[in-house]
Amino acid sequence: MARIALQHQPHSTVVADILDLPHRDASFDFAISIAVVHHLSTPARRIQAVAEILRTVKVGSKTHEGGKILIYAWALEQKNSRRGWDKGDEQDRMVPWVRKGDQPQTFHRYYHLYEEGELERDIDNAGGRVLEAGYEKDNWWAIATPKTADV
């Protein structure tokens, strides 16, 4: 994906560790995390990842709006999808990914399937305040901003 992103200018591409982002504190107005946080295997690591994303966006005040983050994570509630998972099913699982080609290969990737309300709790525990949240195409999503002392 990074190689593809490099072909689309004018912007930069960074490959980084979600638990230790290379960006300065409060650098951005907006940060997006799509299909990343649900690959971390413990609640503490998922919360740390969200905290790290929040760290990179500007903190607001009573007079200025802060930066925002958008996070998408796979939902447990996918009973109408081809996967068929739903409440009560295992949240932590290895999901096959098939690489097509002359010699197809199957890889198994770890996923934590978020249940309703869990992403919002992780954001709160990471020091964020959820502004909006919802469900779309087998994913839970949330828009949040860093909590401030005066909010």
Predicted confidence (pLDDT) per residue in 20-71, tens digit: 999 999 999 999 999 999 999 999 999 999 999 999 999 988 888 899 999 9
Task: List phi, psi (to 5°) of 44.
Answer: -60, -40
What element of type H or E holds 9?
none
pTM of the model: 0.90
Q: How many CA atoms lie within 13 A of 96 on its CB side?
A: 7
